[in-house]
Amino acid sequence: MSSPTELVSQTQARPSKVSLPTSRLIGLGLIILLAIAAIGGPELVGKDPAKQSLLHTLELPSAAYPLGTDNLGRDMTARLLSGAQLSLSLALLSVLTAGLPGTLLGIAAAWFGGWTDRLLGAFADAVLALPGLLLVLMLAAISPGSWWALYAGISLTLWVEYFRYTRQRARIVLAEPAVEASKLLGLGPWLLVRRHLIPEIGPGLLTIAAFGAATAVNSVAALGFVSVGVRPPTAEWGVMMTELLPYWREAPFLILQPVVCLVVTMLALHLSVGGIRRP
């Protein structure tokens, strides 16, 4: 029978080599490119995405306007990059503010059990009973056209996934003999979380975060398209689709641009959660 020290040593051993599948590398590469474009693109273009020029409406791509102009003569390149900045920023902020409390509450529920687990579980079930889209619409109605309403609504619906996953996985990990051995050796709660819980729940949390970011980007675009979320003249992909829809016969290439941006972003986030192969 292994001693407590041996059990802890065995669980800390990790393979030195990790191989990423091609699909995940493509997804991560696309995310990096999108992040670079969102962070540095608007400044590099040097044009105001809200500046109108009625003498240059619905123009084809040219040296002055690489992706053409919209129905009000605004530069499409600047507007697409500004839309990427808004969508990705909201997605990142929503994932972070939903993931941190959701994970901590899940660990607390599994760690303490009893009434703590039951109360937190009941609260999470109550949030799930309210459709996420309805919650976002309610907040958007309170503050029309405000980005914070979208952010708050999306965050309030995303944290439950982190909580439920973390609580389930933490229960299993905390019941393992290696964790019991670590407690007998006198390791504190922080060391137990860092050495046992984080390696086990980390990959799953990253997967939930990627899908949560995709949900946030899609929600912002969908609400903007139906004129419930961010409103004109803000450069946002869903809003741009609505503004360009009446001109799809005259300039179909314009409305395709925000659609392609949204599809590429969703594809990148979904590909980035591909499995990890360990030799």
Residue 11: inside a domain: no
Domain count, the chain: 1
What pLDDT, on a 0 to 100 scale, did the predictor assign at position 16? 43
At 179-230, the pLDDT tens digits run 778 777 777 778 888 888 888 898 899 999 999 999 999 988 988 888 887 8
Residue 41: inside a domain: yes
CB 200 within 8 A of CB 87: no
Rounded distance between C-alpha atoms, residue 233 and residue 49, angstroms: 9
Rounded distance between C-alpha atoms, residue 265 and residue 83, angstroms: 12
Residue 232: inside a domain: yes
Residue 117: inside a domain: yes
Rounded distance between C-alpha atoms, residue 126 and residue 254, angstroms: 43
User: For residue 8, what pLDDT band results from cuts at 50, 70 and 90?
Assistant: very low
Provide the 3-class DSSP secondary structure of residue 202. Answer: helix
Provide the 3-class DSSP secondary structure of residue 259. Answer: helix
At 216-236, the pLDDT tens digits run 999 889 888 888 878 888 889
Residue 3: inside a domain: no
Residue 234 belongs to what domain range? 20-45+64-271
User: For residue 101, what pLDDT band results from cuts at 50, 70 and 90?
Assistant: very high
**DSSP secondary-structure letter at 279?**
-
The CATH number that applies at residue 92 is 1.10.3720.10
At 237-279, the pLDDT tens digits run 999 999 999 998 888 999 999 999 999 999 999 998 864 443 3
Rounded distance between C-alpha atoms, residue 23 and residue 27, angstroms: 6
Between the alpha carbon of residue 173 and those of residues 84, 111, 196, the distances in Å are 39, 10, 7
Residue 9: inside a domain: no
Residue 57: inside a domain: no
